[in-house]
Amino acid sequence: MAHPLGADLPAPAPLYLDACATTPLAPEAWEAMERAWRESWGNPSSLHGQGLAAAEALERCRWQVAEDLGAAPEEVVWCSGGTEAIQTALLGSAATLPPGRLLISAVEHPATEAAAAVLVQRGWSVARLPVDRQGLLHLDALAPLLAPPTRLASVIWGQSEVGSLQPLATLGALCRERGVRLHVDAVQVLGHRPIDWSQLPVDLLSGAAHKLQGPRGIGLLLARRGLPLEPLIGGAQEAGRRGGTEPVPLIAGFSAALQLCHQRLRAHGGEDPVARVRDALWRALREHPGLELLGPDPADRQRRLPHHLSLLVRGQGGRPLPGRALVRALARRGVACGSGSACSALGGGPGAAATPATAATAGASRVLLAMGFTPEEATAGLRLSVGPWLRDDLLAGVPDALAAAIAEVDSALAR
């Protein structure tokens, strides 16, 4: 498929292992976008032929995404991405409630922390549910925190730094029992696990296209029918829940990418086949000295994201090695990976100042600090996240590249 500027769409780098940050655009998504740019370029709010064509394409995508996620079409709200979806869920929902307490986990994405900081300015209080050494919620601490004045809760379903999957059914049931409105950040889960919105005990759910080989600049919020929600951006579009002309080509790309993910899930009995690539990589790395697994065991499909591997890296004498230095050293060897959340600045990010753990050393991940790691250890996280563009044989050189990167960084620190 030709690029509109005349060049061929570039193939992803063969050793791109940073899927949790973003993903290369799937050819199917690109084709859907190109078709929409050509056939559905009008304003979907206009009443002439071009507008009606765009409106039809927009609603077809809404119906398709709703079907893939077990939702009703009117429950799908298009947003500019995961951050806007999360903040619409929290700020828009809180605007319809009397000020109270927001409950979040200690390992939330910076977008959630930023929304929490805004709510504090509006008279809300914020409580953080602690996690264990694997990044999983301490559910025994949940019941007291759901008592009044808690009115709203938000939890990251799949943690982007350490891969932990929270027990959503248990959490949602407790929130329903206490009458607490629950939002779930599913940005890292969407496309990697089957989601049946009709069965989830959740009121709001956010997702983003670029984490599943769709385009950047488009996300979604699922909101229960009848749930009051104030828009962050006023306007008549999206049933008054998000103003602005809908970007039909981006939405078409999102819909196509999500369909592709669900086809893979259905073909493999509901399991993401990239888990096998991740598992092969872990088997190749696990015997390397100085590597400690972060988060739940990859073999535990119910408690870990299928495409995610995270490690704490130590050098000679057990000294933790800075993850960001390792990322740069690996990039020089042709391996792209990550350290911490791509949306964090030095492991912090907007709203992070409200977290006591962020008083630790600069560069320390507040997620690892919340999990009980020391400030020095919390700088040493390395994340390898895979996607369907990778095969086992492409990863054969990763262990040697990592060993060389460790030796380089360790040597530099020893000088």
| d(C-alpha 149, C-alpha 97), whole Å | 11
| d(C-alpha 337, C-alpha 18), whole Å | 5
Last residue within a domain, chosen from 216, 233, 264:
264
Does some domain include residue 370?
Answer: yes
Query: Per-block average pLDDT, block size 10, for the chain (415 residues)?
Result: 39 79 97 97 92 94 97 98 97 97 97 97 97 96 94 98 96 96 98 96 98 98 96 90 94 98 97 96 92 96 97 94 96 92 45 37 88 96 96 91 96 85
| Distance, C-alpha 44 to centroid of its chain | 29
Residues in the chain, how many?
415
| d(C-alpha 182, C-alpha 179), whole Å | 9
Same domain, 210 and 81: yes
* Alpha-carbon separation of residue 27 from 93, 172, 298, 398 (angstroms): 36, 36, 29, 26
Same domain, 285 and 361: yes
**Catalytic residue positions?**
343
**Residue 309, strand partner residues:** 384
Same domain, 309 and 169: no
Residue 254: what pLDDT? 98
pTM over 0.85: yes
Domain that holds residue 40: 27-264
Same domain, 239 and 109: yes
Cis peptide, bond prior to residue 149, ω within 30 of zero: yes
* Domains in the chain, number: 2
| d(C-alpha 392, C-alpha 414), whole Å | 34
Burial of 4 (0-12, 13-18, 19+ CB in 10 A): exposed
Same domain, 90 and 118: yes
Same domain, 204 and 173: yes
Residue 391: what pLDDT? 87
CATH code, domain carrying 324: 3.90.1150.10
* Alpha-carbon separation of residue 296 from 135, 162, 305, 310 (angstroms): 8, 8, 9, 10
Same domain, 198 and 308: no
Q: Where are the alpha helices (DSSP H) in 183-273?
A: 248-267
CATH code, domain carrying 51: 3.40.640.10
- Which residues lie below 8 Å from residue 396, measured CB to CB, with a gap of 6+? 284
Two structure tokens written together for 155 = 């939890």
Contact of 368 with 294, CB cutoff 8 Å: yes
Does some domain include residue 184?
Answer: yes
Does some domain include residue 228?
Answer: yes
Q: Which residue type occupies 77? A: V
Last residue within a domain, chosen from 246, 264, 282:
264
